[in-house]
């Protein structure tokens, strides 16, 4: 059955191959185009056709056309990339982050304007705290570049599985090319699936040599609907967020430009779960109040020097503070004769970062050299307080992780060499990284006595290399190949999280720190073929990735320090993982190919992957099912209206594809989405979309990965039925 499912999308993509290979190059279209410029893949501006790896580029225009408002909606038509959504009890914590070719969480590097985003924090056995990585607002972004596969040679630690590089809008995006000018936009968006309403105001100005920009977005949503809204209808979730992005940029002269960027993001999620009151533990209420904040400031200087060492340099000084405060209020029935007890779990997690970086670029003869350095310092603060309003003497003030100071250093060098009049491009690269972590104990951190001696300093380093090549067989056809290494230094939580949880007989657990962890490493091989022409573009890619020293939490013993426990766990380097797969994507301009009405195009993309844990010869649970997306679009020559019909096909997840056959499996499904736009005036655009047009009931595998097949109330994990979204934007 799987082979049949795979064959139909593949046949369509082969048709695109035959269509584009016979045609010359000239046309650019808003759909997938190899003429699109990438910056993140090589840290320099390069057309996608000249890059030796696979990069997905999502522009602001695409987000607008797809009516996206968050990172999950942003990538819904990008096979090979998944974003898990918090569902069931975890709905209050939002999305899980990015999964690229089966590698996810902190193994994927996320940056905003080059600033590393804080790592997720998900302590084992703790349902009251989750710190995600989705603290960005889509309306401030002008482009998102997703590098598929290891990219540590340019981006250092955490780029083990890939990179998601967000780039925010600049004043120039709203202004005329020259002269004093004022511009901006107003946008309103509504979504029926979560009763979501958002408003965005953008203002930009140029006065002389000074440019300024201010973007403000406010969002309010309820809980995301399930297919059957009768499932726990009394459970509620109210989310609101505010994001402010401000930029000042000044052109000192033709060679020097300086700027300041400030951003402030804050969200508040209030949840109420009366469905939990049916348990034998909670009696009166179970409510959550989660506040997430991210503030950052950046100073940059661009210098067009044109000297012997570099043609230009761009250095930045960044500060960022990311924090999450999660408060869970409950009334529970204590065992024994005690009456119901009010309790507040007040947990917080904060990461403050200072980062200094510089990039130098030099071109001479057939070489384009890029080199630079990055240095950052991080301070981690974590609190796990348990408060009893009616009995303050029972309060416990604690940390799950000690105060930690982390430092990292990175030096990189890349050379893009052109041979044979540009037909052959060779791109070698190398990088050195060093990571240090130093914990400090204070009165608020009381680790189990038996583990206190394990809290020592950690340091690790790594040299990574990369070699990529692109060879143009003809004017329209090229092949590309790349070998790249990745690495990831251990997370602070894996190094130092220390916890003892004693809930009574049979429930006495101990988690040990492990400052002796080694970095995770990867080797990636990628081979591809590209076509481009008047009638469209096509890219076919095969990849094979090997990962070693994966860090996983494992059961190590039932006793420690002379004390017996029901479980003793610790993060250790154990797994060796192999992931391989095929991807294809393309677009045909049907007006050029078959004489369809001008502005008609067809897009297609497919991703298939398999993975195996070589340690115990079991499948990798993080591999997403095969996914294919087909899109038929029409844009009127007048540019006043257009529409797109997207058909998404996802294969089922069998028991044979899981490491534990008792875990949740998902059925295959196909859904249709229809979007359209109309511009009654050049400055006004109205958009609308009907999603899940056929009202299909389905579950996204990434949402239920790792859950038991016997999980109660499985309806909580279904996606919305037929729903709609609409927006209106006015540019001035």
Task: Kindly tell me if the per-residue pLDDT of 665 is higher than 50.
Answer: yes
Q: What integer pLDDT is reported at residue 23 of this predicted model?
A: 38
Q: What integer pLDDT is reported at residue 2 of this predicted model?
A: 41
More confident residue, 556 or 521: 521
In whole angstroms, give the CA distance from residue 527 to residue 223: 42
Q: Each residue of 500-521: pLDDT tens digit?
A: 777 667 778 888 888 899 999 9
Q: What is the average per-residue pLDDT within 293-322?
A: 96
Q: How confident is the model at residue 12 (pLDDT cuts 50, 70, 90)?
A: very low
Lateral strand order in the sheet of 115-116: 55-59, 141-148, 162-168, 108-112, 115-116
Handedness of CA 127, 129, 134, 140 (dihedral sign): positive
In whole angstroms, give the CA distance from residue 454 to residue 402: 12
Q: What integer pLDDT is reported at residue 651 of this predicted model?
A: 96
Q: Are 16 and 635 in contact (CB under 8 A)?
A: no
Q: What is the average per-residue pLDDT within 584-592?
A: 94
Q: Please give, one letter per residue, the 3-state secondary structure of 374-393.
A: EEEEEEEEEEEEEECCCCHH
Highest mean pLDDT among 17-31, 387-401, 556-570: 387-401
Q: What integer pLDDT is reported at residue 87 of this predicted model?
A: 63
Task: Kindly tell me if the per-residue pLDDT of 676 is higher than 90.
Answer: yes
Highest mean pLDDT among 258-267, 337-346, 572-581: 258-267
- What's the start-to-end Cα distance of the chain, in Å? 53
Task: Kindly tell me if the per-residue pLDDT of 336 is higher than 80.
Answer: no
In whole angstroms, give the CA distance from residue 328 to residue 287: 6
Q: How confident is the model at residue 8 (pLDDT cuts 50, 70, 90)?
A: very low
Q: What is the average per-residue pLDDT within 685-699?
A: 97
Q: What is the average per-residue pLDDT within 356-374?
A: 96
Q: What is the average per-residue pLDDT within 530-550?
A: 93
In whole angstroms, give the CA distance from residue 521 to residue 29: 38
Distance of CA 564 to the CA centre of its chain: 40
Q: What integer pLDDT is reported at residue 85 of this predicted model?
A: 79
Task: Kindly tell me if the per-residue pLDDT of 454 is higher than 80.
Answer: no
Task: Kindly tell me if the per-residue pLDDT of 611 is higher than 90.
Answer: yes
Q: What stretches of 475-608 show up as alpha helix (H) in DSSP?
A: 492-496, 590-593
| Residue 460: Cβ within 10 Å count | 18
Q: Each residue of 94-138: pLDDT tens digit?
A: 788 899 999 988 999 999 999 999 888 776 656 677 777 778 999
In whole angstroms, give the CA distance from residue 93 to residue 85: 9
Q: Is 720 in a helix, a strand, or coil?
A: coil
The residues with which 265 forms a beta bridge, in sequence order, are 243, 294
Q: What is the average per-residue pLDDT within 423-442?
A: 92
Q: Which domains does the chain have, with CATH numbers?
A: 2-731 (2.40.170.20)
Average pLDDT of the chain, as a whole number: 88
Q: Each residue of 134-168: pLDDT tens digit?
A: 789 999 999 999 999 999 999 998 899 999 999 99
What tokens were used for 77? 């038509």
Task: Kindly tell me if the per-residue pLDDT of 380 is higher than 80.
Answer: yes
Q: Each residue of 311-332: pLDDT tens digit?
A: 999 999 999 999 999 898 888 7
C-alpha separations of 240 from 52, 185, 198, 302, 461 in Å: 41, 22, 9, 37, 41
Nearest to 224 by CA among 691, 708, 630: 691
The residues with which 324 forms a beta bridge, in sequence order, are 292, 349
In whole angstroms, give the CA distance from residue 80 to residue 650: 11
> How is residue 20 annotated by DSSP?
H
Q: What is the average per-residue pLDDT within 392-412?
A: 87
* Cα angle 150-153-159, degrees, rounded to a multiple of 5: 40
Q: What integer pLDDT is reported at residue 125 of this predicted model?
A: 59
What tokens were used for 172? 């120039």
| Residue 718: Cβ within 10 Å count | 19
Nearest to 653 by CA among 668, 635, 671: 668
In whole angstroms, give the CA distance from residue 578 to residue 289: 40
More confident residue, 719 or 285: 719
More confident residue, 105 or 685: 685
Distance of CA 710 to the CA centre of its chain: 29
Q: What integer pLDDT is reported at residue 278 of this predicted model?
A: 64
Q: What integer pLDDT is reported at residue 20 of this predicted model?
A: 41
Highest mean pLDDT among 278-287, 289-298, 549-558: 289-298
What tokens were used for 561? 């320090």
Task: Kindly tell me if the per-residue pLDDT of 618 is higher than 70.
Answer: yes
Q: How confident is the model at residue 89 (pLDDT cuts 50, 70, 90)?
A: low
The residues with which 579 forms a beta bridge, in sequence order, are 545, 611
The residues with which 243 forms a beta bridge, in sequence order, are 217, 265
Q: Are 659 and 613 in contact (CB under 8 A)?
A: yes
In whole angstroms, give the CA distance from residue 309 to residue 720: 57
Least confident range from 7-11, 49-53, 568-572: namely 7-11
What tokens were used for 347? 């947990």
Q: What percent of the chain has pLDDT over 70?
A: 91
In whole angstroms, give the CA distance from residue 461 to residue 431: 11
């Amino acid at each position: 059955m799987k082979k049949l499912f795979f064959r139909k999308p593949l046949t369509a993509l082969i048709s695109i191959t035959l269509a584009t290979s016979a045609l010359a190059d000239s046309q650019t279209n808003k759909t997938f185009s190899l003429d699109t410029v990438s910056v993140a893949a090589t840290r320099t501006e390069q057309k996608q056709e000249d890059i030796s790896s696979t990069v997905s580029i999502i522009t602001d225009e695409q987000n607008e056309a797809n009516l996206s408002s968050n990172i999950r909606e942003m990538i819904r038509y990008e096979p090979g990339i998944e974003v898990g959504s918090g569902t069931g009890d975890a709905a209050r914590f939002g999305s899980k982050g990015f999964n690229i070719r089966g590698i996810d969480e902190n193994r994927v590097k996320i940056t905003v304007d080059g600033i590393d985003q804080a790592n997720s924090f998900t302590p084992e056995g703790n349902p009251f705290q989750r710190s995600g990585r989705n603290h960005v607002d889509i309306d401030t972004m002008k482009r998102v570049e997703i590098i598929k596969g290891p990219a540590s040679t340019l981006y250092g630690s955490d780029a083990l599985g890939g990179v998601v590089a967000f780039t925010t809008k600049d004043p120039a995006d709203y202004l005329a090319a020259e002269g004093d000018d004022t511009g901006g936009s107003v946008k309103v968006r509504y979504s029926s699936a979560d009763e979501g309403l958002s408003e965005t105001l953008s203002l930009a100005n140029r006065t002389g040599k000074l440019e300024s920009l201010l973007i403000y977005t406010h969002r309010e949503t309820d809980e995301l609907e399930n297919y059957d809204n009768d499932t726990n209808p009394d459970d509620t979730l109210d989310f609101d967020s505010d994001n402010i992005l401000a930029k000042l940029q000044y052109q000192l002269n033709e060679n020097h430009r300086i700027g300041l960027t400030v951003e402030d993001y804050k969200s508040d999620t209030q949840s109420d779960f009366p469905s939990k009151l049916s348990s034998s533990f909670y009696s009166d209420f179970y409510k959550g109040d989660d506040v997430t904040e991210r503030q950052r400031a950046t100073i940059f200087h661009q210098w067009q020097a044109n000297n012997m060492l570099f043609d230009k340099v761009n250095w930045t000084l960044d500060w960022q503070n990311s924090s999450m405060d999660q408060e869970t209020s409950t009334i529970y029935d204590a065992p024994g004769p005690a009456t119901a007890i009010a309790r507040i779990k007040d947990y917080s997690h904060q990461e403050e970062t200072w980062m200094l970086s510089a990039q130098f670029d030099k071109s001479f003869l057939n070489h384009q050299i890029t080199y630079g350095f990055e240095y950052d310092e991080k301070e981690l603060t974590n609190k796990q307080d348990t408060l009893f309003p009616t009995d303050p003497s029972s309060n416990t003030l604690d940390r799950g992780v000690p105060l930690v100071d982390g430092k990292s250093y990175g030096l990189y060098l890349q050379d893009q060499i052109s041979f044979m009049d540009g037909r052959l491009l060779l791109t070698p690269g190398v990088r050195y990284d060093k990571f240090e972590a130093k914990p400090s104990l204070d009165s608020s951190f009381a680790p189990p006595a038996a583990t206190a001696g394990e809290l020592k300093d950690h340091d690790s380093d790594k040299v990574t290399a990369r070699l990529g090549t692109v060879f143009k067989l003809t004017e329209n056809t090229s092949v590309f190949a790349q070998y790249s290494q990745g690495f990831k230094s251990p997370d602070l939580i894996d190094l130092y999280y220390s916890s003892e949880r004693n809930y009574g007989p049979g429930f006495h657990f101990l988690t040990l720190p492990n400052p002796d962890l080694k970095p995770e490493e990867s080797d990636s091989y990628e081979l591809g073929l590209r076509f481009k022409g008047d009638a469209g573009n096509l890219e076919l890619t095969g990849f094979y990735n090997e990962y070693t020293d994966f860090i996983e939490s494992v059961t190590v013993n039932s006793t420690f320090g002379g004390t017996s426990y029901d479980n003793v766990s610790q993060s250790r380097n154990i797994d060796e993982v192999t992931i391989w797969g095929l991807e294809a994507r393309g677009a045909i301009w049907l007006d050029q190919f078959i004489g369809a009405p001008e502005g008609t195009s067809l897009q297609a993309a497919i991703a298939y992957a398999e993975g195996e844990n070589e340690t115990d010869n079991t499948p990798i649970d993080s591999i997403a099912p095969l996914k294919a997306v087909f899109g038929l679009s029409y844009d009127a020559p007048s540019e006043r209206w257009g529409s797109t019909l997207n058909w998404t096909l996802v294969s089922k997840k069998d028991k044979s594809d899981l490491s534990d056959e008792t875990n949740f499996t998902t059925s295959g499904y196909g859904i249709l989405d229809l979007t359209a736009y109309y511009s009654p005036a050049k400055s006004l655009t109205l958009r609308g979309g009907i999603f899940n047009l056929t009202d299909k009931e389905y579950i996204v595998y990434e949402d239920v990965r790792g859950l038991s097949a016997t999980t109660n109330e499985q309806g909580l994990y279904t996606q919305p039925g037929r729903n709609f979204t609409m927006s209106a934007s006015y540019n001035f």
